[in-house]
Amino acid sequence: MTDTSKTLPSMQRRRLLTAFAASPLVAACQGSFAGPERGPIAALFLGRIKDGDFDEQGSLGLQRMSRELGIPVRMLDGVGSDRTAVLDALRELATSPATMIVVHGGAASEAVQRAAWEFPRKRFTQIQGDRLRPNLAIYRVRDEQSAWLAGGAAAMLSKSGVLGHVSTKDRDDAIALHTAFTAGARTTNARIHVLDAAMPAALDTDAIGRAAIAQIGTGADHLFVTGSTTTVVEAVRGHSVRLIGQGRDWVATHPSFFVASAVADTGAAIMRLGQDMQDSIWRGDLIRYYGLRYPEMVRLVTAANAPANVLATIDDLAGQLAAGRIQIPRTERDRKLDAASR
């Protein structure tokens, strides 16, 4: 799940919103931009944008949008996952000059849908959400596809025949990623054993570390890490284990720990949202999916020394998965998305 850090005090939220309204860039745009296709944008993050993980990834996409597309952007982070706190923050954002409100992460879907209902003239976009309204769209990065490939690669690389998974994501997301990772692993090695996903609370750093060590003690020589990744990196120092990251490219930042990373770049999805706004093709009541056909968003990154046979196999499987010839087992998350689309 995203970082459920303490809800921002209402006075601090008001100061951020006041700064948004007073921004020279926003003020300059208010008279010339009539529609949401040119912004400005206000973005809400449940966790902190300096978390080095999921929320920072989204914030980098917003910064790129502002830099390359010239769309004014303001960010509000650390709101927490409490429904009332999220809804209060969304109501304040909805009364700001923003003409598009972006919510990063799926844990607040019900609150986002409620805010969209209360403010039908505002446009909302949720990254990884599962509820729609005529003025609310979902941009969903298909993280299960890169997770499936990560499982396939990990099973081929494993010497012990045991893989682990430590996750601090929302339960539905954690289960979906675990299901995909396990299915991919069993495709390349039918005898592989994948331990049940350890899902300690996102804020309990001690529990996260203990979960990683426990899975290593059970024989796992590769751990799939989905959430609180830097905590796991610190916990496994000195242990004989390799890691498979998720979300961002962890191979690039921690090459001595990671043999692969299941990239699912929500920042790139936010950049696509900005492009859709400028092209006037944004639509509410619609889920836009982005998978392996969009490698800037979804792909498997492997270490430079990955064996050639692993790379060849993964490349072939990626093509089959992108073409729809391989189906990933469905989970409760898929059923929620199906219901939202009806």
Q: At what angle do helices 109-118 and 83-94 cross, to 10 degrees?
A: 40
Strands annotated E in the chain: 41-45, 73-76, 100-104, 123-127, 136-141, 162-167, 193-194, 222-226, 242-247, 258-264, 287-290, 298-302
In the chain, where are the structural domains located?
Answer: 10-141+267-290, 143-264+304-334
Give the CATH architecture of domain 10-141+267-290: 3-Layer(aba) Sandwich (3.40)
Total-model pTM: 0.88
Alpha carbon distance 179, 183 (integer Å) = 6
State residue 263 phi and psi, 5-degree precision: -70, 130
Backbone φ, ψ for residue 303 (5° rounding): -65, 155
Predicted confidence at residue 37, as pLDDT, reads 64
Instruction: Domain 143-264+304-334: state its class.
Output: alpha beta
Residue 84: partners with Cβ closer than 8 Å, 6 or more residues away: none
319: CB partners within 8 A, 6+ apart:
none
Q: What is the pLDDT along the chain (342 residues), one digit of tens a residue?
A: 333 333 344 444 444 543 443 343 333 333 333 444 677 999 999 999 998 899 999 999 999 999 999 999 999 999 988 899 999 999 999 999 999 999 999 988 999 999 999 999 999 999 999 999 999 999 999 999 999 999 999 999 999 999 999 999 999 999 999 999 999 999 999 999 999 999 999 889 999 999 999 999 999 999 999 999 999 999 999 999 999 999 999 999 999 999 999 999 999 999 999 999 999 999 999 999 999 999 999 999 999 999 999 999 999 999 999 999 999 999 999 999 999 988
Instruction: Establish whether the linkage from the previous residue to 40 is cis, with ω within 30° of 0.
Output: yes
Q: Which two tokens stand for residue 319?
A: 């093509």
270 close to 100: Cβ distance less than 8 angstroms:
no
Domains 10-141+267-290 and 143-264+304-334 share a fold: yes
Amino acid 225: pLDDT: 98
What does the pLDDT read at residue 11?
42
